[in-house]
Structure 1
Amino acid sequence: MISRPDLLTTFNGLLQPERFRDYGPNGLQVEGRMEIGKIVSGVTASRALIEAAIAAHADAIFVHHGLFWRGQDGCVTGWMKQRLALLLAHDINLFAYHLPLDAHPELGNNAQLGLQLGLVVQAQFGEQNLGCLGQPANGIAFASAQALADRVSFVLNRPVVLVDQAQVAIKKVAWCSGGGQSYFEAAMAAGADAFITGEISEPQAHLARECGVAFIACGHHASERYGAPALAAHVAAQCGLTHEFIDIDNPA
């Protein structure tokens, strides 16, 4: 068991949220019971995840996407009331870390996505250094962007969107999990032959075709499934807690 304040201190020590300009509060978003023995991790604090955590007898939930975001109207109605009511009724703590979890160099979403795909990080780039630049761990270039896209699709077990005009071998790969499509130009400036992220917006298809850098969109949720369980498992092992990752399927 660990106390809520001590667990918060441990999470903050690893993720250093004070270093980031973010879109919502990082840390303890909903206060629950004081003593914590089991953590459930997930991508998003959806009602389905909260209900699954209740069934799993969790004392705390650790997620990437919390409940509160800049620009919300602040009213506790509808879906917000339903999620908060479940957390409060069952006295469950909710910890959420957004950009700090993306950026952690070993346990974060980007580092873990690269690990899953067999990519070695050589540098970080872009605003707040959220993007990663690297190459295949075996040092052998992908024969084509299609070969890289096939690898991503196989590992994440879902179809991907590939825009590839140049059709050349891929030596340097850049990636930024989630909604990182705005990092595409920074990835090109960093020398990437291909860029992987969760989503694609209309302008990126044109940029990929005109600039000869392949763009692969593999799903926001799919690209961010690895950071939360990696970090929560690390902390659970460090603090002698039980940990369970619950993946709520999301096609986005």
Structure 2
Amino acid sequence: MKSLKKLLVALSFAPLAAFASSGVHLDRAPDLQGDQQALQNGAKTFVTYCLSCHGASYVRYNRLLELGFTEEQVKDELMTTADKIGEPMRIAGRAEEQKAWFGATPPDLSLVARSRASGDGSGADWLYTYLRSFYRDENRPTGWNNVVFENVGMPHVFWELQGEQHLNHETHKLELAVPGQLSPAEYDQKVGELVNYLVWMAEPDAGLRKKIGVGVLLFLAVLFGAAYMLKKEYWKDVH
């Protein structure tokens, strides 16, 4: 019951978050929903870099089996915050400690790909642009700022992978000052995989829903044809 109340609260705030746009142009995120390997890579990145601060409490570890992981892989490689595979992907850190460190408790990411959708782009576009728009700002407590989410409390957890970007205040563009472990193209790919996993996590049954929808439309098309032929046969003497 408590989890249900939390879910309803998250959904109620989703439309409000949709209007929280910074006016920054959003880059189009790659669509990798049909790429199982990419989704697996995104899941691994999420567990490694995100789950220590951000929970996904509306998703259970056993749902990762739908991405092609075996139960042994989930238990050995991905289950960092639970003992049983049927448990939710809870946060690893303590909420009170995180609030002291960052000024606010990091939000649950179960529905972030849906809550960040707006008229400027999809939630995937927002996340894809946001995770590539951190830059050094010594005036911030964490040493980092973000073009998409100004004065965000979250530090740049991927800085070793991406490198260090600086904001050119004349051109208002980001420039890579210190290269990271990955090339810009490799980093974009890694972020794209993570974002697609977040999209999948926000609605794991989206693929099935779309398949059912196509099937229903095909059925209605056949039914319409049969109904039309029946109508012609029934009214042929009248016309």
TM-score by length of 1: 0.27
The two structures have a TM-score, normalised by structure 2, of 0.28
Q: Is the strand fraction higher in 1 or 2?
A: 1
Rg larger for: 2
- Normalized per residue, the structure richer in helix is 2
